[in-house]
């Protein structure tokens, strides 16, 4: 516990860095889906999108999500009193929803990889707003701590 408290600001910095990387992927992946919709199945363009989507998820998004959770949990271990604060409950709910959205995006990526996408690009344009809304909630809870 002393180690975590002594290195709390480092944990916080690592948490912020991993959240930024995770959010970048959550913003970019559905945008790739929008463009992938207009690529003919089997085309070189479609195959390129498949590679880009898979690498984004595997190399950036998954590790960043895991790191965000890890550093966030370590910060909570260092500051257990926050577990009684309402703002943290709202933030954690939003993070759980963000994690669920991440999993949904991964399922959609598999559908594209198997040439089974049936949704139009407009669907993905709307889905692209989900991470933004959740990010707004999270940032307001963490900065303002309204309750």
pLDDT tens digits, residue range 127-147? 999 999 999 999 999 999 999
Query: What does the domain layout of the chain look like in residue ranges?
Result: 2-144
Among the listed residues 99, 85, 104, 110, the one whose alpha carbon sits nearest the alpha carbon of residue 134? 99
Q: 52: pLDDT confidence band, cut at 50, 70 and 90?
A: very high
Write down the residue that tokens 């890890």 correspond to.
Answer: 70
| Cα 132 to Cα 147: distance, rounded to the nearest angstrom | 22
Is pLDDT at 109 greater than 90 in this prediction?
yes
Q: Against a cut of 0.85, is the pTM above it?
A: yes
pLDDT at 63: 98
CA atoms within 13 A on the CB side of 22: 24
| Cα 86 to Cα 7: distance, rounded to the nearest angstrom | 25
Q: 1: pLDDT confidence band, cut at 50, 70 and 90?
A: confident
Rounded to the nearest integer, the mean pLDDT of the chain is 97
**78 near 46, Cβ under 8 Å?**
no
Alpha carbon separation from 142 to 12, 21, 28, 90 (Å, rounded): 12, 18, 24, 10
């Amino acid at each position: 516990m002393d180690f975590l408290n002594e290195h709390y600001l480092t944990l916080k910095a690592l948490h912020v860095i991993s959240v930024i990387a995770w959010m970048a992927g959550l913003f970019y992946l559905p945008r790739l889906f929008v463009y992938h919709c207009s690529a003919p199945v089997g085309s070189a363009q479609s195959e390129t999108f498949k590679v880009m989507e898979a690498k984004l998820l595997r190399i950036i998004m998954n590790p960043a999500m895991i790191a965000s959770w890890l550093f966030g949990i370590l910060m909570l271990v260092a500051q257990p009193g926050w577990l009684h604060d309402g703002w943290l409950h709202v933030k954690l709910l939003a993070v759980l929803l963000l994690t669920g959205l991440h999993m949904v995006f991964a399922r959609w990526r598999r559908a594209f990889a198997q040439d089974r996408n049936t949704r139009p690009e407009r669907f993905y344009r709307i889905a692209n707003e989900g991470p933004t809304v959740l990010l707004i909630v999270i940032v307001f809870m963490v900065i303002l701590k309204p309750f």
